Amino acid sequence: MTSPIRALVRVRDVLPDQGSFPSRLHARRPAALLGAALGVTFSVCFVTGLFSHALQNPPGWTSLPPRPAGLYRVTQGLHVAAGIASIPLVLAKLWTVYPLFWIRPAVRSVAHAVERLALLPLVAGSVFLLFTGVVNVALWYAPLGFYFPAGHYWAAWITIGAIVVHVGAKATTIRTALFARSDPEPEAAGAGLSRRGFVGAAAAASGALVVATVGQTVGPLRRLSVLAPRRPDVGSQGLPVNRAAAEAGVVEAASDPAYALSVEGRGAARPFVLTLGELRAMPQHEATLPIACVEGWSASARWRGVRVRDLLERAGAPPGAEVRVESLEQGSRYRTSPLDAGQAADPDALLALALNGEDLNLDHGFPVRLIAPNRPGVQQTKWVSKVVVL
């Protein structure tokens, strides 16, 4: 039982007999190739994930630029696409290396013990991240008994730590497997997949999954997005709806003819209240901006409404004021949204009244919604009732 395993960890990348793990795919080179591909996809996920986290939890020591307006659309599209691409790669990688989990002696030294212990957070973390990510993208929150962004975020740190340990421990093996002249691939006992064919198949599956979903954010590919839960062009007023007015319990409050927007707060020297008619009478500004949902879909739309900075000026807010926008919606995590000074001053930061040339409908946030550049969709609060100047 030991000989095929020893072949894996020792010098030659061949399996000398048809022992307990006969497949020639349990070898270092395919493992290293798949690992390298995963290194790329996980790095993309990690960096774009940190950016998304920073936008949603502003760090305080720095402000995040509202430009380029579509940046978050690109980074979050990449985040979800790279995560989806990783799924077949992880499965293939686990298949190539799983005999190593049975290696004996289980622990050879302290360093070996550390390296092997790091496999637990590595494998569990990777599977957890991909599973929770897919669950979130698929809008199927039921199986998650915790707040998704927090769980996903902390698991990412643990997993990245485990990856660093793993790559460090395997550096020599990886270098040899990738760059040294390798033995010729052994003939398969039966008609089996070659290593090259196996890695190619994993890459092809990965590419196919991406193509089947990336149209949720890359408009021209939308027809191919058979596996994406959203199509960017399908929804009322030509835009998907994330949470409808009825689900949010705001139908009555939002359609109340007595609706008024109030601009108030410590920073507002001259707080005021505007009816919908008065809001419509203010100077209107038009901007083309995307909704870029953390769940990976995004779509661009034409918005028209009142600039946040015009409201601040009217309220006598000091330059550099920060703002909290509040929704009529009650009891939701996403009922308020912060704008730092730069975001609030941006000429395209709007309280929008119209979408693609029509008055906003209830599901898109009637009477008024926030739309501003380079922000996650969750921060584009709908059914706005209050602008609080901080």
Ligand X SMILES: Nc1nc2c(c(=O)[nH]1)N[C@H]1C(S)=C(S)[C@@H](COP(=O)(O)O)O[C@H]1N2
Instruction: For the CB of residue 379, give the shortest distance to ligand X in the complex, in Å.
Output: 7
Examine residue 243 and tell whether it contacts ligand X (CB under 6 A).
Answer: yes
225 binds, among Mo ion, ligand X, none (CB under 5 to 8 A by kind): none
68 secondary structure, DSSP code: S
For tokens 């953390």, the residue is 294
In this chain, which stretch among 58-66, 212-220, 281-289, 330-338 interacts with ligand X, using CB under 6 A? 330-338
Examine residue 382 and tell whether it contacts ligand X (CB under 6 A).
Answer: yes
3-class SS of residue 6: helix
Instruction: For the CB of residue 295, give the shortest distance to ligand X in the complex, in Å.
Output: 7
The region, left, alpha or beta by phi > 0 then psi within -120 to 50, assigned to residue 171 is alpha
Instruction: For the CB of residue 249, give the shortest distance to ligand X in the complex, in Å.
Output: 10
Q: Which is nearer to ligand X, 23 or 380 (CB)?
A: 380
Q: Which is nearer to ligand X, 5 or 254 (CB)?
A: 254
Instruction: For the CB of residue 378, give the shortest distance to ligand X in the complex, in Å.
Output: 4
Using CB positions, name the residue nearest to Mo ion: 293
**Pairing outcome for strands 384-389 and 260-264:** parallel
Q: Which residues, 298 to 357, sit near Mo ion by CB under 5 A?
A: none
DSSP class per residue in 69-112: TTHHHHHHHHHHHHHHHHHHHHHHHHHHHGGGGG-SSS--SHHH
In this chain, which stretch among 113-121, 234-242, 263-271, 272-280 interacts with ligand X, using CB under 6 A? 234-242
User: Degrees (nearest 5) of the Cα angle 68, 70, 76?
Assistant: 120
Q: Which is nearer to ligand X, 329 or 340 (CB)?
A: 329
Judge contact between 346 and 301, C-beta under 8 A: no
Instruction: For the CB of residue 325, give the shortest distance to ligand X in the complex, in Å.
Output: 10
Which one of residues 176, 275, 284, 332 is an interface residue with ligand X (CB under 6 A)?
332
Which one of residues 377, 381, 382, 385 is an interface residue with Mo ion (CB under 5 A)?
377
Judge contact between 374 and 69, C-beta under 8 A: yes
Tell me the number of residues near Mo ion by CB under 5 A.
4
Examine residue 240 and tell whether it contacts ligand X (CB under 6 A).
Answer: yes
Q: Binding string to ligand X for residues 257 to 296, with x set by CB under 6 A, is what?
A: ----------------------------------x-x---
Using CB positions, name the residue nearest to ligand X: 377
Q: Which is nearer to Mo ion, 148 or 272 (CB)?
A: 148
Report the distance separating Cα 64 and Cα 270, nearest Å. Answer: 28
Report the distance separating Cα 38 and Cα 202, nearest Å. Answer: 11
Examine residue 334 and tell whether it contacts ligand X (CB under 6 A).
Answer: yes
Which tokens go with 233?
Answer: 């062009």
Tell me the number of residues near ligand X by CB under 6 A.
21
Q: Which residues, 114 to 143, sit near ligand X by CB under 6 A?
A: none
Report the distance separating Cα 213 and Cα 80, nearest Å. Answer: 9
Q: Which residues, 341 to 380, sit near ligand X by CB under 6 A?
A: 364-365, 377-378, 380
Which one of residues 69, 239, 311, 323 is an interface residue with ligand X (CB under 6 A)?
239
Report the distance separating Cα 85 and Cα 204, nearest Å. Answer: 10
For tokens 């622990």, the residue is 107
CA dihedral 32, 33, 37, 42 (to 10 degrees): -10
3-class SS of residue 144: coil
Instruction: For the CB of residue 243, give the shortest distance to Mo ion in the complex, in Å.
Output: 8
Q: Which is nearer to ligand X, 81 or 378 (CB)?
A: 378
304 binds, among Mo ion, ligand X, none (CB under 5 to 8 A by kind): none
Amino acid at 64: L
Which one of residues 163, 293, 306, 345 is an interface residue with Mo ion (CB under 5 A)?
293
Q: Which residues contact 187 (CB under 8 A, 6 or more apart)?
A: none
Report the distance separating Cα 115 and Cα 172, nearest Å. Answer: 14
**Pairing outcome for strands 298-307 and 285-292:** antiparallel
Cα atoms in the 13 Å half-sphere on the side-chain side of 285: 16
Nearest to 375 by CA among 338, 331, 341: 338
Which one of residues 78, 381, 385, 387 is an interface residue with ligand X (CB under 6 A)?
381
Residues within the interface to Mo ion (CB under 5 A): 242, 293, 377-378
Residues within the interface to ligand X (CB under 6 A): 239-243, 248, 291, 293, 327, 329, 332, 334-335, 364-365, 377-378, 380-383
